[in-house]
């Protein structure tokens, strides 16, 4: 829901996504941005730096939060205590402890009057009042429907996850409950399916609520790139949307597929496989992230690096000063 700039830049670099074209890097105790070839596009001028989303990134400089565009120019925004990334041309911001929304010109088009708020998806966004009421608003800030739920996620494939009395279900854009709140846990819809948990086991439903993959897995993820990450007997593998095994469980750790590649942990280190289960990037990394666009942020020889889909290092962090001396 609400997201703040991380306090520790190293963690920020690990756990945040990056834009399609620009990627945050840490150098000389400041944050800058590189392109997919590893060229420095925006100089390292910022104290902290978020990922780019829809052409803008949230940065911290001189103690203030600002949005920059891909040329490094600042948006003229209200003073912000915190903010989120842009989604569908709108970004959440917090002013005097209340949530509102700005557009890509930096204009506060929805005043900061809400206790909490989500992100815009498919033209709608959940907002929460102090009296416990939840509403969907449109991009004009108009309240479209009141909702009784204690939590609501973003819309995907026309449906949004909601939680009522600790149980998960799904509503449509009119606010109608179309899949009852009967699951212990559920994930957002992705590629027409959603993870739902019953009796501690994960299965998958379609948009009509029909169970298409039985509840069988102690851990599984959303459908990504046509495959689902599963864990059986402590080993990770992949199934397709029919529940058929495509890559047998054999890895001590694995990530979701992104851009046709998934990271997997082998005895010698972490590498990447393709959707046929072939190792295409050697396991020479200690840890890392899934691919975001053309690059993945990894750790090699105790240093942060960005690699491309051929496994080539296009950027490497400078060694800590005490190691150089």
- Compute the residue count for the chain: 325
Domain boundaries, the chain: 148-217
The lowest-confidence range among 17-21, 63-67, 148-152, 237-241 is 17-21
Q: Kindly state the DSSP code that residue 13 receives in the 8-state scheme.
A: H
* 269/2 Cα distance (integer angstroms): 35
Helix, strand, coil share of the chain (percent; to 5): 5, 55, 40
The average pLDDT across 99-125 equals 96
SS3 at position 323: helix
* 286/31 Cα distance (integer angstroms): 23
Q: What is the mean pLDDT of the chain?
A: 91
Contacts of 185 (CB under 8 A, 6+ apart): 168, 195, 196, 197
Fold of 148-217: Thrombin, subunit H (2.40.10)
Contacts of 258 (CB under 8 A, 6+ apart): 224, 225, 290, 291, 292
Q: Indicate if the pLDDT at residue 324 is higher than 90.
A: no
User: Can you give the pTM of this predicted structure?
Assistant: 0.85
Cα dihedral 231, 236, 240, 241 sign: positive
């Amino acid at each position: 829901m609400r997201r703040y700039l991380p306090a520790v830049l190293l963690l920020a670099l690990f756990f945040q996504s990056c834009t399609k074209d620009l990627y945050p890097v840490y150098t000389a105790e400041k944050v800058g941005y590189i392109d997919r070839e590893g060229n420095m596009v925006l100089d390292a001028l910022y104290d902290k730096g978020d990922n780019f989303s829809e052409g803008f990134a949230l940065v911290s400089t001189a103690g203030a939060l600002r949005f920059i565009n891909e040329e490094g120019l600042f948006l003229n925004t209200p003073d912000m205590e915190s903010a989120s990334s842009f989604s569908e041309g709108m970004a959440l911001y917090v002013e005097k402890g209340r949530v509102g929304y700005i557009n890509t010109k930096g204009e506060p088009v929805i005043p900061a009057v809400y206790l909490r708020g989500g992100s815009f998806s498919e033209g709608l966004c959940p907002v929460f009042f102090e009296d416990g009421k939840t509403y969907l608003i449109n991009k004009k800030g108009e309240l479209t429907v009141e909702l009784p739920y204690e939590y609501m996620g973003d819309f995907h494939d026309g449906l949004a996850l909601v939680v009522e009395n600790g149980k998960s279900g799904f509503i449509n854009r009119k606010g109608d409950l179309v899949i009852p709140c009967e699951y212990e846990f559920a994930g957002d819809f992705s590629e027409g399916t959603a993870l739902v948990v019953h009796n501690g086991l994960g299965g998958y439903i379609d948009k009509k609520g029909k169970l298409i993959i039985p509840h069988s897995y102690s851990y599984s993820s959303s459908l990504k790139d046509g495959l689902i990450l599963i864990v059986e007997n402590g080993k990770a593998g992949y199934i397709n949307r029919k529940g058929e095994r495509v890559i047998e469980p054999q890895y001590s750790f694995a990530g979701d597929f992104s851009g046709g590649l998934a990271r997997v942990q082998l005895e010698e280190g972490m590498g990447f496989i393709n959707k046929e289960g072939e190792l295409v990037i050697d396991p020479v990394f200690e840890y890392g992230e899934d691919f975001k666009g053309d690059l993945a942020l990894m750790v090699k020889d105790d240093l942060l690096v960005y690699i491309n889909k051929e496994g080539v290092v296009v950027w490497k962090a400078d060694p800590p000063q005490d190691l150089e001396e």
